[in-house]
Homo-oligomer: A and B are copies of this chain.
Amino acid sequence: MEPLDGLRTITRKDIAREAGVTETIVSYVINGNRYVKEEKRKRVEEAIAKLNYRPNTMARALKGKKSNHILFIADDIQGEYFGKLISEIDSLAYKHDYFITLCADHRDEDFVNRIYSKFFDGIVIGSATFPLANIQRLIDAHIPIVLLEIRDYHTIEGTFGLINTGLYEGAKAIVRLLSEHGRKRLLFLDRISSDGKGSDLSDWRLKGFSQECERLHLEMQVVTGCRSEEEMAQKVRDLLATGFVPDGLVGRNDQTALVGMQTCKRLGYSIPSDMACVGFDNSRLCRFSEPTLCSMEIQQKEIAKAVMHMLMHLMDHPQDGGHLEEHLSTRLVMRESV
């Protein structure tokens, strides 16, 4: 923790001595919030450069300034979806002098307490399984919060940001597409998750899928609660053996769409004539499969912009009341599988 010479940390005091001014002046030069005589300012700046001084962020934060850390809670750090999103957010955040702390949605009771230790200037919740009660606690603590794709936000009170990533409409659009291609019986393949927890009906993709199927009078089945790709493949085979013969398949993400597509191919289905397949995310996976996979692209870059914009607004206007909302849209990328 000892910078540079390994002997002593350079502080305001050192700069003040070096520049022949008081600490107060140094502070005002650094923060630029009071006029300082040109000549003194210059001496201070030179001293800072000479001693390679960096203000201690901790001490600053203690005095009510910001920590410059934003927390991002994700439920699937590994996927390409979050990878791209985080990458975009990082690049915007960096410009505004923030660091992004990334962390999985840990389940133990202590998680929210740790977060809550006044460390983060803002929090982005990208996990659909983060308990609403905990979200409420963080909001009550007046920490700026942006929710990504969160479900029943209606019960949440207070000021927060909400980003609708367009998954609901996206899922509906996929169903319409398949219907227009004459498909009558659709299969939805939910997430694969090591804890076996599937999405419930408040999940936007599943909700959009089932509501549109209903509206268009399509038959539908959902495969969920799988812990591995193998388990999902098995469930698909079991389902097909029951006599339900789908002619269209929608994956909650590209991975599950591909597991389904591959399983069907091996059973002799021809893609897309017997079975049209569509995924979500438009990840790299889509371009290397055979046939290539049609997928709904989620606009990570736009999401990242909206996230940062909202977060910064909430930080500047903490007591606004009510919630901000931004609605983004998805984009269908056609490929051979439809």
Contacts and interface: CB of A to CB of B under 8 A. Distances in A.
B64 A1 contact: yes
- A86, A142, A287, A288: most-surrounded residue (chain B CB, <10 A): A288
A313 B136 CA distance: 38
A78 B97 CA distance: 21
B103 A143 contact: no
A170 to B, nearest CB: 21
Interface stretch (A29-37, A114-122, A147-155, A237-245): A114-122
Interface in A133-159: 140-143
A88 to B, nearest CB: 9
A62 interface: yes
Contacts of A54: 113-114, 116-118
Interface string A42-84: 0000000000101111110110100101010000011110111
Interface residues of A, number: 60
A163 to B, nearest CB: 20
A87 interface: yes
A192 B231 CA distance: 34
A130 interface: no
A335 interface: no
Interface string A216-246: 0000000000000100000000000000000
Interface of A: 1-4, 6, 9, 52, 54-59, 61-62, 64, 67, 69, 71, 77-80, 82-84, 86-87, 90-91, 94, 97, 99-104, 106, 113-114, 116-119, 121, 140-143, 229, 255, 258, 262, 284-285, 287-290
Given A78-B80, A97-B114, A262-B288, 13 more contacts: A1-B118, A1-B143, A4-B141, A6-B141, A54-B117, A69-B101, A77-B86, A78-B84, A80-B83, A90-B104, A94-B106, A100-B103, A255-B284
